[in-house]
Every structure is written in C-alpha cells, then in structure tokens.
C-alpha cells in the first residue's frame, strides 16, 4: 500500500468555531516555522464561506502578533470572474477578514485578476507566481488551504471540467457549465507540490460527499477533491462533527 492509499489524516472538531480556532493556530504555527527556516511563508488561501472565521481569528489579538507578516506571501487557490470589490470576490473576503488587519506588505498579496479574460488572467497569475518560485518544476507552496463544495469540487476544480486534466499549467482558466461562468484556479499538480495541504469542511450538507471522497471508489472526474494527494507533503482534513457524521 502506497502512502497515497494510507488512512486519511482526519481531525474532527465539535463545531465550526473550534475547527476555525485549530486551523488558525495551525496556520500561524506553519507560518512561524517557515519564516524561521526559509525566511518566508507562502500560502494559498481558499475562498468560499468556511475560511472567513479562520482569517478573522488570525487577524485577532491572540494570533496576529505571533506571525511575522513581512515574511508572508499570500496567494489564492482560485478566483471568480468578478471585480475585487464584489461580494463574490475571494480576494475581497480575505482582504476584509485578514489582509487589511495585519502588517503584510501590499506587494506580498498576490491577487488573481477577476476582470477581463480568464485565460489571460490565469497566465498573468502564473507569471506572477514564477517571479517568486522560479521556473524549475512545480512551485512549492508552504501551505494550501482548500474547501470542498457539496459537489466534491475544490478550489475551482469542478466535476467534469477541463482543468482537472491539466498537467502543465500552474494556473488554469476553467469554464464551469453549471455556474455558466469562468473561474481561474490553481491546478492539481501545483496543489500536490505543496508542503502542507489542509481541507476545511463543515456542515451536515457535506457529510455524504465527504464520505464518498474519502471512502468511496476513486473517481476524480466526478469527485475532484480526490485529485489532491501531495507528492511530498502532508494532507490534513479539518472536519466538524456534522460533516464527519458519515465517515
């Protein structure tokens, strides 16, 4: 049995609040370690609703001062094709909850452009990543935070979409038929090259899909979250009791 087939590393929390607290502490701990060891911490944030509380806790009294934000580089796992001030913007959410509240240099915040052409924006974002990560092989992000939709998608890797098969781009434009919209997303090989990947999953509405993803047949075209298997990094599932109820 290969490592990829080992039991998933699932931590179950009583509720969304205790999950958020644990995730925020883990983020801060990994940030401190990375800055101490390599002088910087590169993280890809997830969008959606679950992470907001984590970002607020990171910006709060207890944790804000424990991280040297000057060494932190923030990227995004995906973005919707909306302006940065839209209520739908992942950047806006992270900015309001966290980035505007900590002393992170503005040039360390790497936003995916949501206005204009998705393919051009994806390619511009890949170029921006290459400035920091260089051109050799896949980038090695220190941490990727991910959510999972109730259809099994993660980042903007939706079931049955073209970006699932991407093997060379770091960042892909992805047409999502069921949303009638383009998204821009990190690709699975980039996520799988990270040092640490953490899924954040709450709510009973995700329980059955989570069971399928973790315990069901392998079918990543239908369950894109199954594509996430870091090749030389850790994968942790932070799940609340409601979402874990069918495991």
Least distance to ligand 6PG, CB of residue 59, Å: 18
Supply the minimum distance, in Å, between the C-beta of residue 137 and ligand 6PG. Answer: 25
According to the binding rule CB under 6 A, does residue 149 interact with ligand 6PG? yes
Residues 6 or more apart from 11 whose CB is under 8 A from it?
22, 236, 237, 238, 239
96 exposure class (CB count in 10 Å sphere: 0-12, 13-18, 19+): middle
> Site residues for ligand 6PG, window 6-25 (CB under 6 A)?
none
Residues 61-100 that bind ligand 6PG (CB under 6 A): 77-78, 90
Q: Which stretch binds ligand 6PG (CB under 6 A): 23-31, 98-106, 145-153, 235-243?
A: 145-153
Q: Does 49 bind ligand 6PG (CB under 6 A)?
A: yes
Binding part of the chain for ligand 6PG, among 64-72, 141-149, 190-198, 233-241 by CB under 6 A, reads 141-149
- Of 71 and 159, nearer to ligand 6PG (C-beta) is 159
Size of the site for ligand 6PG (CB under 6 A): 14
- List 48, 84, 189, 230, residue binding ligand 6PG (CB under 6 A): 48
We find the least distance from the C-beta atom of residue 153 to ligand 6PG, in angstroms, to be 6
Asked if 135 and 147 touch (Cβ cutoff 8 Å), the reply is: no
Cβ pair 201, 242 in contact under 8 A: no
CB–CB of 226/219 below 8 Å?
A: yes
Q: Which 184-203 positions form the footprint of ligand 6PG (CB under 6 A)?
A: none
* Distance set, CA 58 to CA 22, 49, 209, 227 (Å): 11, 16, 29, 28
Measured CA to CA, the distance from residue 22 to residue 214 in angstroms comes to 21
Question: Residue 163 burial by CB count (10 A; 0-12/13-18/19+): exposed, middle or buried?
Answer: buried
Residue 121 binds to ligand 6PG (criterion: CB under 6 A)? no
- Contact (Cβ atoms closer than 8 angstroms) between residue 41 and residue 143: yes
Only one residue has tokens 């609040």, namely 17
User: For ligand 6PG, which is the closer residue by CB, 203 or 216?
Assistant: 203
The correct pick among 95, 108, 121, 154 for binding ligand 6PG (CB under 6 A) is 154
Binding site for ligand 6PG (CB under 6 A): 46-50, 77-78, 90, 147-149, 153-155
């Amino acid at each position: 049995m290969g490592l990829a087939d080992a039991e998933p590393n699932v931590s179950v929390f009583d509720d969304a609040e205790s999950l958020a607290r644990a995730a925020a502490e883990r983020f801060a701990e990994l940030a401190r370690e990375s800055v101490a060891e390599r002088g910087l911490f590169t993280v890809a944030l997830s969008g959606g609703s679950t992470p907001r509380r984590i970002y607020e806790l990171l910006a709060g009294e207890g944790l804000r001062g424990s991280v040297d934000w000057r060494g932190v580089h923030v990227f995004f796992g995906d973005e919707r094709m909306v302006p940065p001030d839209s209520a739908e913007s992942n950047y806006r959410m992270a900015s309001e909850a966290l980035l505007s509240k900590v002393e992170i240099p503005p040039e360390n915040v790497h936003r995916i452009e949501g206005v204009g052409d998705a393919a051009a924006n994806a390619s511009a974002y890949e170029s921006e990543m290459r400035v920091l990560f260089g051109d050799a092989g896949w980038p090695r992000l220190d941490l990727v935070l991910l959510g999972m939709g109730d259809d099994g998608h993660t980042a903007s890797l939706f079931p049955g979409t073209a970006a699932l098969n991407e093997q060379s781009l770091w960042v892909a434009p992805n047409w999502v038929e069921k949303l009638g919209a383009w998204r821009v997303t990190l690709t699975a090989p980039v996520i799988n090259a990270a040092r640490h990947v953490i899924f954040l999953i709450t709510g009973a509405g995700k329980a059955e899909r989570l069971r399928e993803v973790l315990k069901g047949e392998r079918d990543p075209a239908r369950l894109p979250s199954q594509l996430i298997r870091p090749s030389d990094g850790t994968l942790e599932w932070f799940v609340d009791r409601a979402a874990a109820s069918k495991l």
